[in-house]
Chains A and B, each alone.
Chain A
Amino acid sequence: MANDELVNRLAGELRPVSRWRAGRELMLLVALAVIEIALFIAAGSMRDDMHSAMHHPSFWWKVGSLGLLAIVGSVTTVASFDPMLSARRRMTLVAGMLGLVLLTGWLVDAMGGPGAPLVHRLDWRHGLDCVSWILALSIPPLTAFAVLARRGAPPRLNASALLVGVASAAWGGFVFAFRCPFDDPLYVAVWFALAGVAITIVARLILPRIARW
């Protein structure tokens, strides 16, 4: 087909479009997050010792860190779908935040004094349970990000995919934090991070294929 023919065909089939707006996309994500958390609570998945857990700094570190990562990760991920914005600086920001979360977790852990033996602290049976929960809870945001990526025009698909993985995992981890009875920073750093790595690998493998444009 000649270029002129293509131009005429595209102009001939032109339809009005609704402009892509990052703010609107973010509102959709907020709505999805509210629905997921509401369903999670309505299903009776909240931890039984929530009241006493709220007296421990490690609980607030866990919830606060994951919530902040989920929010910043979601904003930066949606921004990376804008063709005019680079994902590189946003990746640096998210990586810096991850480092800060681990550092503050280490400080919270150090303030708590000597802990139990490593094997007990990591408790691999519950740890694997945590990983599977976080993976399941990360599926809705992962799907939503994939849909939004297809609607946008991410100029660096691989970078966007990594951001999608981190944001989805943080989101899943944040919701699960209200159920998980373990607030030990070491436990969270190991098992939640493991789930995050798994989700990020999935996003890195899948997203560039379905959001290619």
Chain B
Amino acid sequence: MVASASQLAPRSLLGTRAPPTEGVIDRKGEDWGMLMSAAQSGNGGAYRRLLGEVERWLQRYFNHRVPGWLVDDLVQETLLAIHRKRHTYDPARPFQPWLAVIARHKWIDWLRRGASRIEDELPLDLAVEDHERAVTSAALLGQLLSGLKPAQQDAIRLVKIEGLTVAEASARTGQSVPLVKVNIHRGLAKLAAMVEEDSGGE
């Protein structure tokens, strides 16, 4: 069965468009499924080629969804998830929707983790991240955040995206420190639920 382009593209998130390079993915879709099928049989060469392509796809996927300094972490987590769950891929089905589900799962997982760990440690090279990447991820995150209450938006934007400490965010917004933490926790939990809700259909 040949999947349509809309089936192959990752589901849009709350109306936002998927990465602009989906055409490449569509053309290679069949190959990826065959490569994974070969990998399930133990073909390391096919698996290396597949993971190489998937890694680039994941870079694009997460570039649009998380702050730039987190992209590589999530790409690697997703590659590991693909490796651990490769037996759940059914070669009779298209590969990309399976891949998109796993990537989305890791994204939601990150949002939930963020809700439980209020202050992630930021990397030292945060200030020199790629500008385009920062703009695109900020645009998507901004669109996502618009579904939250203004106080939650402010808390998440300042602490999770701009990298301020909770105390600094508290001073900037006028919210108390505990309130900033509560707003981050609830806001990220709601974001995860929104993403999950958006991907609820089959």
For A43, what are the chain B residues with a Cβ–Cβ distance below 8 Å?
none
Chain B binding surface, main DSSP class: helix
Cross-chain contact A213 with B84 (CB below 8 angstroms):
yes
- A-chain residues with CB within 8 Å of residue B76 when the two chains form the complex: 1, 3, 6
List of B residues within 8 angstroms of A20 by Cβ: 87-88
Report Cα–Cα, A162/B101, bound state, in Å: 20
Q: Does B165 contact A (CB under 8 A)?
A: no
Smallest beta-carbon distance B41→chain A, Å: 5
- The interface residues of chain A lying within 8 Å CB-to-CB of B86 are 17
Q: Tell me whether A12 is interfacial, beta carbon within 8 Å.
A: yes
In the docked arrangement, what's the CA distance between A120 and B201, Å?
Answer: 46
B103 → A minimal CB distance (Å): 11
Contact present for A153 and B88 (CB under 8 Å): yes
Is B98 a contact of A8 with CB atoms below 8 Å?
A: no
B144 at the interface (CB under 8 A from A): no
- Given A1-B76, A7-B51, A11-B47, residue A155 in contact with residue B85 (CB < 8 A): no
> Is B75 close to A, CB under 8 A?
yes
Chain A, residue nearest B48 (CB)? A11
Within the complex, the shortest CB–CB distance from A212 to chain B, in Å, comes to 8
Q: Which of B49-76 contact A (CB under 8 A)?
A: 51-52, 55, 72, 75-76
Q: Is residue A47 contacting chain B, with contact meaning CB distance below 8 A?
A: no
Contact present for A6 and B90 (CB under 8 Å): no
For the complex, is A126 an interface residue (Cβ under 8 Å from B)? no
Cross-chain contact A10 with B202 (CB below 8 angstroms): no
Distance between Cα atoms of A84 and B83 in the complex (Å): 17
The reply to whether A155 and B55 form a contact with Cβ atoms under 8 Å apart is no
Bound CA span A47–B109, Å: 48
Taken together as a complex, chains A and B put the C-alpha atoms of A152 and B51 apart, in Å, by 21
Chain B residue at minimal CB-CB distance from A10: B83
Task: Report whether B90 and A84 are in contact in the complex, using a CB–CB cutoff of 8 Å.
Answer: yes
Contact A15 B42 (CB under 8 A): yes
A190 within 8 Å of B (CB atoms): no
Kindly list the 6 A-B residue pairs having the minimum CB-CB distance in the complex, ordered from nearest.
A16-B42, A11-B48, A17-B87, A7-B51, A153-B85, A20-B88
Q: Per a CB cutoff under 8 Å, which of A11, A19, A86 touches B201?
A: A86
Out of A14, A84, A156, A213, which one reaches B44, CB within 8 Å? A14
Known contacts A16-B40, A83-B85, A83-B98; A6/B79 CB under 8 A: yes
Query: CA–CA, A213 to B44, complex, Å?
Result: 23
On whether the beta carbons of A3 and B98 are closer than 8 Å, the reply is no
Interchain CA distance A71-B109 in the complex, whole Å: 31
Task: Given A3-B55, A7-B79, decide whether A86 and B98 contact each other with a Cβ distance below 8 A.
Answer: no
Instruction: Tell me if B81 counts as interface (CB < 8 A to partner A).
Output: yes
In the complex, which residues of chain B have a beta carbon less than 8 angstroms from the beta carbon of A152?
88
Q: B172 contacts the other chain (Cβ, under 8 Å)? A: no
A1-43 interface with B by 8 A CB criterion:
1, 3-4, 6-8, 10-12, 14-20
A residues near B47, Cβ cutoff 8 Å: 10-11, 14
A89 within 8 A of B: yes
Complexed CA–CA distance, A209 and B138 (Å): 31
Structural contact, B196 and A156, CB atoms closer than 8 A:
yes
The yes or no answer to A121 lying at the interface (CB within 8 A) is no
| A95 close to B (CB within 8 Å) | no
A56: interface (CB < 8 Å): no
Contact B48 A7, beta carbon cutoff 8 Å: yes
Can you list, as one digit per residue, whether each of B100-126 has a CB less than 8 Å from chain A (1) or not (0)?
011011000100000000000000000
Would you mind naming 14 contact pairs between A and B with Cβ atoms under 8 Å apart? A3-B55, A3-B79, A7-B79, A10-B51, A10-B79, A11-B47, A11-B48, A14-B39, A14-B43, A15-B42, A83-B101, A89-B202, A152-B88, A156-B196
